[in-house]
């Protein structure tokens, strides 16, 4: 299944490291769109969702950022929006 990932982030430093990590995990930038990526999922939707949250969390750990919100779609299934909680170092469901 095709995966579309949209990241709304304020990255102060190391955006290149952020994007390198996403690429290494199979997410390539969508041409002409900043912070939009696509990839392929080969597992169940719930596993793919957990994978995406983990990959973006690890990529954020390589940067200095202010805030981060993400939303993504797996195949024909839009997922809920997530906001990164810097205190807990994890994504929580929220509104963008």
Q: What's the CA angle centered on 22, arms 16 and 26, to 5 degrees?
A: 140
Asked whether the predicted pLDDT for residue 4 surpasses 90, the reply is yes
State the pTM of this model: 0.92
Residue 96: predicted pLDDT: 59
**Tens-place pLDDT, residues 46-90:** 999 999 999 999 999 999 999 999 999 999 999 999 999 998 999
> Among 62, 64, 82, which Cα is nearest to 72's?
82
Q: Which CATH number fits domain 2-93: 3.40.50, 2.40.50, 3.30.70, 1.20.1070?
A: 3.30.70
Residue 25: predicted pLDDT: 97
**Tens-place pLDDT, residues 9-54:** 999 999 999 999 999 999 999 999 989 999 999 999 999 999 999 9
Domain boundaries, the chain: 2-93
Higher pLDDT, 8 or 94: 8
């Amino acid at each position: 299944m095709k995966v579309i990932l949209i990241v709304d982030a304020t990255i102060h430093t190391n955006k290149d490291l952020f994007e390198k990590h996403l690429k290494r995990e199979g997410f390539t930038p969508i041409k002409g769109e900043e912070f939009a990526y696509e990839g392929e999922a080969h597992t169940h939707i719930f596993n793919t969702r957990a994978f995406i949250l983990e990959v973006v969390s690890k990529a954020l750990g390589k940067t200095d950022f202010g805030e981060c919100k993400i939303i993504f779609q797996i195949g024909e299934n839009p997922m809920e929006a997530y906001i990164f909680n810097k205190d807990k170092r994890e994504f929580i469901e929220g509104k963008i």
